[in-house]
Structures are given as C-alpha cells and as structure tokens.
C-alpha cells in the first residue's frame, strides 16, 4: 500500500504544479497591464496597487514572477477582493460551504439512483425498460442543466407552487432550530435535482456496462446454477463486483458536479461559489475568478487522489499494479 | 498480394458496411437528420425567420400565439426569429471548435503514439491535466480576462477539448502500428513519416469522427453556458444569451427561456445520438 500511495502522490504533484502555472499564466492573458488581473477592475487605492505590483514582482523577469506568485500562494495570499472588501481566500472558503451543501446530497442521490437504475436495467438488456434507462442517460448528457433549473422553477415553484423558487432560506419567516434545517432542505430540492440529473446519466451508463460485464462471468453462472434466487445473485454477487468502476466514475466526475453546482446556483440564487462566480464576472473581480478556478481544480485533484486510494484499499489487484489505470 | 491494395482496396468495403449499419441505426439516423435540418435552417435563417431577431417592437412580453409562435420578449423582439438565428452561432462554434480540436488532437496524438518516448509521456501528462481541470470554469476565467468574442470562445473550447481527440488518436496509432500490414509497407522502403501519414492515420479516422461529433455537442453546451453567464459575444443572437435574459423573467415569461433551452437540448442530443451511432457503426462490438 505504501508504494501505491507514493505512486499516486507522484501523479498528483506535477498536476497540481501545472494547475498553479496555468493560473499564473492566465494573469498575463489580460490585454494591457497584468496588474488589472491581480487587483480587478474595481476602484482600488493606488498604494494597494503599488504594493501588489511589488509583491508579485511585476517589473521582474517572468521566472521570478512565477516564483513570487507561488510564494504568495503558499502563504494563502490569493489577493483581496475590493468588490467584497474581503481577502479572496476567506471569501472562497465561506461560500464553498454552501456549494458543498448543495453538491453532497446531489452526488449521493445520483450515485444511488444511477446504481439502482443500472442494476435493474442491465439484466433486461434490450427491453423497453432498459431502453428507457438509456434514454434517461442521454437526456442527462444533453440537457443544459441551468436551463433544466429554469424549467423546474417555472413548473414546480411558479405554476404548482409546491417548492420555493430561489434562495436557501425563507426570508419572511426566519425559522429557527429544526424548522430552519427543514427550511434549507426544502429550498435544496430543486437545485439538487438539477445537479443530480447529469450525474445520474454518468453513473447509470458506467454502472450498466459494468453490471453487464459481471453478469457474463463464470462465477455468476455458478451462483445461478447453485439455485440462488435472482435477487440474491444480483445484490450479493453482481453488485459488489460491479461497483468498483462505479466508485471510480463517481470520484473522477467530482469536478463535473462542482461545475454543475456552479451553473445551477446562479439560476436558484443559491449563495455558494457559483453566485460569487457570476457576480465576480460582472464586477470584473479577476482575483476571485482565478481563486475559484484554483480552488475547484485543486478540489478535483484531491477527489481523484482520494478515489484512487479508496480504489486501492478496496481492490488488492490495483495496489499490485494490475489495475486498468491509464 | 500487393500491400498498397491491401491498405486501400478493401478499405472501401468496411466503409460500405459501416454505412449500411448506420442506415439501420434509428437513433443515429434521427440525430443525423436533425443536424442536417438545423444546418439548412441556419443557412436559410433570413428566409425562415418571420422577423429580424433584433427588431424592437411595442408588442412586448406576448405569450406564444399564432402571430408570434414563441412569443415576444421584453423589448418586443420575436423569440422564434431569435431561436432560428441562434442556430448559426451554435453550429458555427460547435463545428469550428470540434474541427480545431480534432486537427490539433490528431496531429499531437499521432506523433505521440507513433514515436513514443519523452514526447508521448509529456503529451499524456498534459492531457491528464486537462481531464482533471473543470473546463467550464477555466474557459469562463480565460474568456472573462481576454475578452468575449466568438473566435476567442472557439479557441478556448478547442484548447480544452484537444486532449480527448489526442488520446483516441494515440490509442488507435498504438494499435495499428503493430499490425502486420505496416511491416509489409515498411518492407517496400516507404519512410516512417509517410507510413504514419499515409497508412496508419487514415485507418484511425473512424473513431476520431465519433469523438469529434461528440465534441460538437460539448462545445455547443459550453458556448451556451458561457453566454448564459454573460460571457458570450455581445453582437450576435445566441441561445445562451436568450436564456440569460430569460432568467429575469421566469415569473412572467416562461417562453423566453423555454424555447431557446429546448433548442440547445435537442441540438446537443442530436449530436450525441449521431456520435454514439458513428462509434457503434464502426466498432460493432462496443454497441452491446
């Protein structure tokens, strides 16, 4: 396990470095003075601008600038957002909580739904039910989820008045205690469902292929010929063996769900990173935009790393190096 | 047996077979027909659209009716005309981005797969970085900083998508270069570069076509998302931008976002169906 861990860490290191370098290069993409990318297009005091210019060594050669940039990041200095009057790092961590609150239930729901759909559809491969599952995953792959959010709002919040249209809490009643938790859950349903649909598509597709694969293996035939009931074969023999690629796809797609949450938040006025992202776009608050990219990219690398380690812990073949890792 | 006829002669037979299989692949046919229809509608937009999509009128926020099949927006513009003209932006961005990504990916992937070594290692590592990075967020940051134009958006999407095609091309080249016919061609004294370009790459084009088609769909979704976030080009009518302004009128104008969104969904769906069908037709075993 130690060697496997080391090899995965050796994978993550250069990728993290590459992400940092990309973020550094983005600063220089802006037409004109890179100082604008570091401060934003918001009126900032001139002595602050001068200090940033010095801190990031903008009059020095590019290599020195990169070094200073990395040093600043290592100190947690992602810049200051003048539009929000707050250091970028604190602002991001503050908002990331709400994005996680939206993502984690959506992810869990999608994983469960996807696996159950696949497990029920794959043994009936070719049937109408199986076709319907394929249709669901095609829908999930093709629908713009921010638009799906809009349709859900129009249908369930405006027309039927079953669920709240926007926000995370009821502003009028301001409930406390348990009622407040329920209130948040109440607001969570529509945005979480919008994020879920793409994920269900991804998970169902991979899980279906994986279940089909396991179904055709000899030990399943053995289990069947022993006279085990269908249900037991599926849940006890097929599921555990089919689950490994599914875990991988869930972990590896963490980034997509993060992006999904960011796209959906805007539609539902959910107060997380997505909302911060769109207001920062209109404020031209570049340090915040770059900070969001950095935070999400690093989160995805971390999620991939954790997935790999879980994978190694669950399946000894992977640790030994027989895994199908590209 | 002449190696050159082996490489090109029977190659037409699989093409014909693949075409016959495609002709019975209903979802793929439906997708292909829809794409064709869209392309025609995009070209003929000035003839089909009932009005100029940016024509402001005093009949504002009208729900769908016989006169305005998809209603009018807050400035009295005809939504149907906007949806028809929006085809142009979506298809242009989708095709150009997919084409650029495929060309770039094909060249890089072919060289990496054929020559291997350090270059191959480097390419694979770079493509891993792009797989990990959340592409919409990176695209949005780049466009926000460098300015929003249609060509910037195409370039950014291509930049983010090429690793997909590069991986496919590399895999195919790795597989094909070990086949016997390559050695046969080599015995004829043909140079390595010519073998790669003339014998190996042409045999790897089918899976590239499948991935390229799927990238068209991804690119259309990405462009719509960027425009929805206010990062689209300001001087063209696009579906994403219509959704952006529709967001403010969800409570009293559902048609403003419903129709452009349906257009995006159906278009991306069509490309996905087509791409899956192309993949299945050329590789029947993967269809199961």
Q: What is the dihedral of CA B102, B103, B108, B110, to 10 degrees?
A: 90
| Selected residues 65-94 of chain A with any CB under 8 Å from a CB in chain B | none
pLDDT for B112 = 94
B131 inside domain: yes
Structural domain that includes position B100: 77-281
Residue that is written with structure tokens 């790393």 in the block: A305
Which residue in B93, B22, B270, B221 sits closest to A138, CA to CA?
B270
Disruptive mutation site among B125, B144, B217, B271 for chain A (greatest number of A CBs within 10 Å): B144
Distance CA B139, CA B121 (A): 25
Nearest to A14 among B125, B224, B268 (CB): B125
Positions in chain A short of pLDDT 50: 323-326
Residues B176, B181, B187, B189, CA torsion sign:
negative
B-chain CB neighbours of A262 within 8 Å are: 136-137
Burial of residue A11, with CB atoms counted within 10 A of its CB: 0-12 exposed, 13-18 middle, 19 or more buried: middle
B244 inside domain: yes
B100 inside domain: yes
A-chain CB neighbours of B250 within 8 Å are: 150, 153-154, 158, 165
B234 inside domain: yes
Q: How many Cβ atoms sit within 10 Å of the Cβ of residue A33?
A: 12
Calculate mean pLDDT across residues B75-95.
91
- Looking at per-residue pLDDT, the higher value among B76 and B40 belongs to B40
Give this complex's ipTM.
0.85
Which residue in B217, B110, B219 sits closest to B160, CA to CA?
B219
B66 inside domain: no
Distance CA B204, CA B201 (A): 5
Distance from CA of B1 to the nearest CA of A (A): 38
B-chain CB neighbours of A154 within 8 Å are: 250, 254, 257-258
Q: Note whether A99 contacts B: Cβ–Cβ < 8 A.
A: no
Q: Note whether A262 contacts B: Cβ–Cβ < 8 A.
A: yes
Nearest to A297 among B134, B147, B261 (CB): B134
> Would you call A142 and B146 a contact, using CB atoms and an 8 Å cutoff?
no
Per-residue model confidence as pLDDT tens digits over B247-283: 888 888 889 989 999 999 999 999 999 998 998 888 7
Residue that is written with structure tokens 């009295």 in the block: B76
Distance CA A28, CA A25 (A): 5
Calculate mean pLDDT across residues B155-163.
92
Residue that is written with structure tokens 């869990």 in the block: A108
A-chain CB neighbours of B229 within 8 Å are: 266, 277-278, 281
Nearest to B134 among A144, A158, A258 (CB): A258
pLDDT band at B7 (very low <50, low <70, confident <90, very high): very low
* Res B76 pLDDT > 70: yes
Q: Note whether A42 contacts B: Cβ–Cβ < 8 A.
A: no
A-chain CB neighbours of B269 within 8 Å are: 138-139, 142
Distance CA B107, CA B204 (A): 12
Distance CA A287, CA A26 (A): 11
Residue A86 near residue A42, CB atoms below 8 Å: no
* Res B12 pLDDT > 70: no
A121: enclosing H helix or E strand: helix A88-121
Disruptive mutation site among A130, A150, A295 for chain B (greatest number of B CBs within 10 Å): A150
A-chain CB neighbours of B272 within 8 Å are: 138, 141-142
Q: Which residues, including other chains, have CB under 8 Å from residue B100's CB and lie 6 or more apart?
A: B154, B155, B158, B162
Q: What backbone torsions phi and psi does residue B78 show, to the nearest 5 degrees? A: -75, 120
Q: Which residues, including other chains, have CB under 8 Å from residue A89's CB and lie 6 or more apart?
A: A76, A77, A78, A291
Two tokens, residue A194: 């919008």
B6 inside domain: no
A-chain CB neighbours of B140 within 8 Å are: 277, 281, 289
Distance from CA of A314 to the nearest CA of B (A): 23
B216 inside domain: yes
pLDDT for A319 = 67
Q: How many Cβ atoms sit within 10 Å of the Cβ of residue A109?
A: 16
State chain A's mean pLDDT as an integer. 82
In total, how many domains does chain B have? 1
Which residue in B285, B282, B277, B281 sits closest to B29, CA to CA?
B277
pLDDT for B3 = 45
Q: Which residues, including other chains, have CB under 8 Å from residue A33's CB and lie 6 or more apart?
A: none
> Would you call B229 and A22 a contact, using CB atoms and an 8 Å cutoff?
no
Distance CA B210, CA B136 (A): 22
Two tokens, residue B132: 């990990």
Q: How many Cβ atoms sit within 10 Å of the Cβ of residue A289?
A: 25
Residue spans of alpha helices (H) in chain B: 3-8, 12-23, 26-43, 45-48, 79-115, 117-132, 135-146, 150-176, 180-187, 192-195, 201-203, 205-228, 239-246, 254-282
Best mean pLDDT range from A53-62, B32-41, B195-204: B32-41
> Would you call B229 and A150 a contact, using CB atoms and an 8 Å cutoff?
no
pLDDT band at B113 (very low <50, low <70, confident <90, very high): very high
Quick one: what percent of chain B has pLDDT higher than 70?
94
Kindly report the pTM of this predicted structure: 0.87
Interface of B with A (CB under 8 A): 124-126, 128-129, 132-138, 140-142, 144-147, 217, 221, 224-225, 228-231, 243, 246-247, 250-251, 254, 257-258, 261, 264-265, 268-269, 272-273, 288
B37 inside domain: no
> Would you call A286 and B258 a contact, using CB atoms and an 8 Å cutoff?
no
Distance CA B247, CA B144 (A): 20
The CATH number linked to B220 is: 1.10.3720.10
pLDDT band at B39 (very low <50, low <70, confident <90, very high): very high
């Amino acid at each position: 396990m130690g060697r496997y861990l080391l090899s995965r860490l050796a994978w993550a290191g250069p990728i993290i470095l590459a992400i940092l370098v990309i973020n550094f290069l983005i600063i220089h993409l802006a037409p004109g003075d890179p100082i604008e990318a570091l401060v934003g297009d918001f009126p900032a005091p001139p002595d602050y601008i001068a200090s940033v210019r010095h801190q990031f060594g903008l009059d020095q050669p590019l290599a020195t600038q990169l070094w200073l940039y990395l040093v600043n990041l290592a100190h947690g200095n992602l810049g200051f957002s003048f539009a929000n009057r707050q250091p970028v790092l604190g602002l991001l961590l503050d908002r990331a909580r709400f994005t996680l609150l939206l993502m984690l239930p959506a992810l869990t729901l999608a994983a469960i739904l996807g696996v159950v759909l696949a497990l029920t559809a794959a043994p009936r491969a070719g049937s109408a039910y199986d076709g319907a599952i394929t249709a669901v995953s095609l829908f999930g792959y093709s629908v713009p989820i921010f638009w799906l959010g809009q349709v859900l709002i129009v249908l369930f919040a405006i027309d039927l008045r079953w669920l709240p249209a926007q926000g995370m809490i009821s502003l009028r009643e301001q409930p406390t205690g348990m009622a407040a938790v329920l209130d948040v859950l109440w607001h969570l349903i529509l945005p979480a469902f919008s994020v879920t649909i793409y994920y269900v598509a991804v998970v169902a597709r991979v899980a279906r292929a994986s279940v089909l694969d396991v179904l055709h293996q000899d030990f399943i035939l053995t289990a069947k010929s022993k006279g085990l009931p269908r249900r037991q074969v599926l849940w006890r023999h097929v599921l555990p063996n089919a689950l490994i690629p599914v875990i991988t796809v869930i972990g590896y797609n963490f980034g997509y769900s993060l992006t999904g949450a960011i796209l959906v938040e805007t539609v539902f006025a959910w107060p997380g990173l997505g909302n911060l992202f769109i207001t920062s776009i209109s404020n031209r608050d570049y340090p915040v935009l770059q900070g969001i990219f950095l935070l999400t990219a690093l989160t995805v690398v971390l999620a991939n790393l954790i997935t790999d380690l879980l994978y190694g812990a669950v399946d000894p073949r992977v640790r030994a190096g027989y895994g199908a890792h590209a | 047996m002449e190696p050159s006829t082996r490489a090109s002669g029977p190659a037409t037979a699989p093409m014909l077979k693949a075409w016959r299989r495609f002709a019975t692949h209903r979802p793929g046919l439906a997708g292909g027909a829809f794409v064709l229809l869209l392309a025609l509608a995009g070209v003929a937009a000035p003839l089909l659209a009932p009005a100029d999509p940016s024509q402001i009128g005093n009949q504002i926020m009208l729900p769908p009716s016989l006169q305005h099949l998809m209603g009018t927006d807050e400035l009295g513009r005809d939504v149907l005309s906007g949806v028809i003209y929006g085809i142009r932006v979506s298809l242009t961005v989708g095709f150009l981005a997919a084409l650029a990504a495929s060309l770039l990916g094909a060249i890089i992937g072919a060289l990496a797969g054929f020559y291997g070594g350090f270059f191959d290692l480097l390419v694979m590592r770079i493509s891993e970085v792009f797989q990990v990075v959340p592409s919409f967020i990176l695209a949005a940051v780049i466009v926000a900083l460098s300015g929003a134009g249609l060509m910037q958006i195409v370039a950014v999407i291509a930049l983010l998508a090429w690793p997909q095609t590069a991986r496919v091309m590399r895999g195919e080249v790795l597989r094909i270069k070990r086949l016997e016919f390559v050695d046969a061609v080599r015995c004829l004294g043909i140079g390595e570069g010519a073998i790669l370009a003339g014998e190996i790459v042409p045999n790897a084009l089918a899976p590239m076509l499948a991935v390229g088609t799927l990238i068209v769909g991804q690119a259309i979704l990405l462009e719509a998302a960027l425009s929805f976030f206010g990062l689209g080009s300001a001087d063209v009518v696009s579906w994403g931008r219509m959704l952006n302004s529709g967001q403010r009128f969800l409570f009293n104008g559902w048609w403003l976002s419903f129709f452009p969104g349906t257009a995006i969904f159906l278009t991306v769906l069509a490309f996905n169906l087509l791409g899956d069908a192309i993949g299945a037709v050329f590789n029947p075993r993967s269809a199961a």
